[in-house]
Structure 1
């Protein structure tokens, strides 16, 4: 069973690649993952998670935009995704014993909470459709962190949190995060979720939302990809 989500439209990362021609604007593409012949866009329920993830993984000279799916130009969406796209919904970061896990390069390990969410194109807008199980996973994570008003918070983040207020939340998340480099084979036993209103991290045991192995995608290991 699927239904159109009442949640705010998730945000995606639009990357501008540096141009090889001086004075010319580079090409733009959506950030995602490639699993063999399958490409999936990475989307974020919280713009704070997106900003934290992109800050930790950006390359020199790359420029980013962070639109929500419902704010993408209709012509661009129709050209790039004429029949829609599949999304991996990221929320929170992998952790162990109260510490966020870092890759050897220093990048935080985002948590892909719901996989392969269909987002068909309807009237020029990509409309995510969550299964009942997918909705349950989202609720379980936030409520496992004690954030029972999570839907209101996401709505507020999408509509109200801008400029200095968002910057303050990001600075607070970075300042209060305890991190450790994650070596291959080490256990992931928590998902870290940042509460921007209380300015604190919450750590949800993995068994609260089913075990989350380090490589937690049903298609196996993938590679970063730019789509579009």
Structure 2
């Protein structure tokens, strides 16, 4: 299961994952019923916290099936059978610090306020912004390229930002990895 702090990123991903006859939609976590997924994984809920998009030299990396490469953190929550209807996903503070540092490094200091503005849009207007983001991509390269940047879309400025990947892997306590 993919988890997005940015609703806008979730919509970009859904646009790339959708195929004729197979549409993907971003939904709030509170509307998702994970019981079948948990049951299929022996009581474990595996999830990926999306942080941004893989990029190489200012171009986004695209997988063979056409979707973008997501850079994310992984975690697993063990869920008891009686607790499978209400699950708290507590994002690790270290993962959240990495996410915030990447946004700040791109100059996206007001990303929390931006997320609120995206959520306030109607579906039609939101999808127009998603189309604009896709149209404004500076280029794409196939998977297999060296991932040396993380790409993030600036909703307010309607432009892509690229941050060196080393920023993502740096420790949050200020020490080098």
Normalising to structure 2: TM-score of the pair? 0.78
Partner of 1:175: 135
Partner of 1:188: 147
Shift of 1:207: 0.9
Deviations 1:129-178 (A, max 9, x none): 122211211111111111111122223333x0222320221121011102
For 1:183 and 1:84, the matched residues in 2 are separated by: 29
Matched, 1:208 2:160: no
Contact persistence 2:45–2:78 (CA under 8 A): yes
Number of residue pairs aligned between Structure 1 and Structure 2 = 165
Deviations 1:1-39 (A, max 9, x none): xxxxxxxxxxxxxxxxxxxxxxxxxxxxxxxxxxxxxxx
Partner of 1:61: 21
Contact persistence 1:70–1:126 (CA under 8 A): no
Matched, 1:51 2:3: no
1:71 to 26, 31, 34: 31
Contact persistence 1:69–1:126 (CA under 8 A): no
Partner of 1:139: 100
Q: Looking at secondary structure, tell me which structure has more strand per residue.
A: 1
Change (3 A) 1:128 1:63: same
For 2:10 and 2:4, the matched residues in 1 are separated by: 6
1:127 to 76, 88, 94: 88
Q: Secondary structure at the match of 2:91?
A: strand
For 1:175 and 1:115, the matched residues in 2 are separated by: 30
For 1:102 and 1:94, the matched residues in 2 are separated by: 8
Q: Secondary structure at the match of 1:126?
A: coil
Partner of 2:55: 95
Q: Looking at secondary structure, tell me which structure has more helix per residue.
A: 2
Tell me how large the CA RMSD over aligned residues is.
Answer: 2.6
2:45 to 68, 85, 109: 85
Shift of 1:50: 1.9
Contact persistence 2:34–2:84 (CA under 8 A): no
Change (3 A) 1:174 1:117: same
Change (3 A) 1:138 1:90: same
